[in-house]
Amino acid sequence: MDTLASLADGFAVALTWQNLMLALIGCFLGTIIGALPGLGPSNGVAILIPLAFTLGLPATPALILLTSVYYGAMYGGRISSILLNIPGDEPALMTTLDGHPMAKAGKAGEALAISGLASFIGAFFATWGLVFLAPQLVKVALLFGPAEYFALFVLAFATLGGIASRNQAKAALAAVIGLGIATIGVDGQTGVPRFSFGEVHLYDGIDFLVAIVGLFALSEVFIFLEHRAGSGADDKAVKVGRIVPPWKMVRETLPAMGRSTIFGFIAGVLPGAGASLGSFISYTFEKRISDRKGTFGKGDPRGVAAPEAGNNSAAGGALVPMLALGVPGSGTTAVLLAMLLALNITPGPLLFQQNPDVVWGLIAALFIGNIMLLAMNLPLVSLFVRVLLIPTRYLMPAVAMISFVGIYGISGSTFDLVVMVIFGVMGWVLRKLDVPLVPIILGVLLGDQMEKNLRRAMTIHDGDWTMLFNSWLAIGLWAFAIVGFVLPLIVGRYFRPKIADEAIAEGSDPD
């Protein structure tokens, strides 16, 4: 009951007019920032830190503003994923898989509403998890050594087949391209630069955001140029569809949201895993569990609900190691951590005792922000879907402009712009060849961490491979990985002919 009393104190701290206004501003800005390709939660928070300083805000209001931006951006990332097939940030990547097909089928409004609801449920329960489980969850994070992390990433890769329904070989090729890109840069375990060609810009590797914006946003612009440039006319018949999803759809997606909230939260709690892994695992497992008719990837509402619940609950989960250990689980929490340090608050095991007003005020603010986001996002759905009514010939130049400005804003270097254009051309070519783009990004995101952890485990145990199976947790993760990889091969025999037929019949889009 102490916990609830502390939480009540937290609400007392958070519920002032000033803080509510800050939360509202933060949620609004966050949603916009999340929706813009190239600007993700970590840039959003970083951009607003000077604002918090300039306003001279004390610790709690400053944190309320910034975490509202954080949660808002997690909500907002889905909007461009669904409407434009361009992920607004890394964790929103998986939402493109079913969200965009829904939008193309005239269900954009429903997809946005369902994903908004899923975001709310994921974030809401993750915040409760933060309230009650933070001290215990820290122990879970401590069970994961390099060998266990490696097994976890192997598990993620083993389920990769889950995201491409048709051509597994092309999905595997895409993942390998991603893994290759992930090896660029200085290798931490030897200090030697790899594939950098003496170019200092490549020493830190390729930024995920540059790759995402290039592959998704710019290649979309190139495709548009190829097909429509010069014609001027826009023959796209846009159907906006209904805004409020039918109750039946909500009921069907609820179990998916529930499961994904749990997967996402666990992924978020592990430092070095984070929201991208959360939404990825949520999606692939949901597909394994409930995709009986092969509708995932073609606009299944559950395929929208799962990753959105997953990434928002991972965002909440990532605050656990940040607050309780001082270890950021994601880029955004790294920025928040820096902010806390600048405010003279040292996150760590004693934070809950030393600065209870800050911690509980922050948690209360998360609840408030969350409800605000739901209340703000649902009515705005009708506004967002109007993006689809904008003729492509006006929309695409805007996409190109936002991409360039966004990427330049992150690093301030023109080199990244060139890399982005190269990725754009690559994305265009790969789309022509029917190679899915999502596994490339997953290869970059997960491959980097997978390699690092394997190398760490090998260094610690002097190259003894058997040490990768040295704990029950690792063995369990390996078992899941093997089952996840092998089972669909056996079970898939019964389903595959049917799925293949459907795919051919529909002749649908490669991504």
Partner 1 sequence: MKKLLGLAAVFTLASSLSAFAFEPNNTECIAPANPGGGWDFTCRQVGKTLQDLDLVPGTMQVSNIAGGGGGVAFAEVVGKRNSENNLIVAASSATATRLAQGAFPGNTMDQVRWIGSVGADYGVIAVAKDSPINTLPELMEKIKADPSSVSVAGGSAVGGWDHLKVLIAASKAGVEDVRQVKYVAFDGGGEAVTQLLAGSVQAFTGDASEAKGFVDSGDIKVIAVLAPERLEGDFSSFPTAKEQGIDVIGANWRGFYAPGDMSDEAYAYWVDAVSKVYSSDEWKEIMAQNGLAPLDLQGDEFQAFVKESIDSITDLSKQIGIVK
Tokens of 487: 């089972």
Measured distance CA(479)–CA(259) in Å, rounded: 20
Map residues 65-104 to x or -, x wherever contact with partner 1 holds by CB under 8 A. Answer: ----------------------------------------
CB of 35 to partner 1, least distance (A): 21
Map residues 252-291 to x or -, x wherever contact with partner 1 holds by CB under 8 A. Answer: -------------------xx-------------------
Instruction: Evaluate whether 372 touches 27 at the Cβ level (below 8 Å).
Output: yes
**Number of residues near partner 1 (by CB under 8 A):** 56
Instruction: Evaluate whether 36 touches 69 at the Cβ level (below 8 Å).
Output: no
Task: By CB under 8 A, name the one of 108, 320, 327, 363 that touches partner 1.
Answer: 327
> Quick check: 348 binds partner 1 (CB under 8 A)?
yes
- Closest to 7 measured CA to CA, from 134, 184, 136: 134
Task: By CB under 8 A, name the one of 8, 15, 16, 53 that touches partner 1.
Answer: 53
Task: By CB under 8 A, name the one of 321, 369, 424, 484 that touches partner 1.
Answer: 321
Other CB atoms within 10 Å distance of the CB of residue 375: 12
Task: By CB under 8 A, name the one of 10, 61, 109, 146 that touches partner 1.
Answer: 146
CB of 405 to partner 1, least distance (A): 15
Which residue, 412 or 507, is less far from partner 1 as judged by CB? 412
Burial class (CB in 10 A: 0-12, 13-18, 19+), 366: buried
Burial class (CB in 10 A: 0-12, 13-18, 19+), 169: exposed
Please give the residues from 174 up to 233 whose contact with partner 1 meets the rule CB under 8 A.
186-191, 193, 198, 200-204
CB of 413 to partner 1, least distance (A): 6
Return all residues near 186 (Cβ < 8 A) that are at least 6 apart.
192, 193, 194, 196, 203, 204, 205
- Closest to 310 measured CA to CA, from 264, 277, 265: 264
Tokens of 371: 């409800």
Strand, helix or coil at 298?
coil
The single-letter DSSP state of residue 365 is: H
What is the residue type of 445? L
Q: Quick one: which segment of 220-228, 260-268, 405-413, 485-493 binds partner 1 (CB under 8 A)? A: 405-413
Task: By CB under 8 A, name the one of 225, 375, 460, 487 that touches partner 1.
Answer: 460
- Closest to 98 measured CA to CA, from 271, 290, 263, 266: 290
Map residues 406-425 to x or -, x wherever contact with partner 1 holds by CB under 8 A. Answer: ----xxxx-x----------
> Quick check: 328 binds partner 1 (CB under 8 A)?
yes
> Quick check: 50 binds partner 1 (CB under 8 A)?
yes
Maximal CA-CA distance, the chain = 68
Which residues of this protein are in contact with partner 1, per CB under 8 A?
42, 46, 49-50, 53-54, 141-146, 186-191, 193, 198, 200-204, 271-272, 321, 325-328, 331, 334-335, 337-338, 341-342, 344, 346-351, 410-413, 415, 452, 456, 459-460, 462
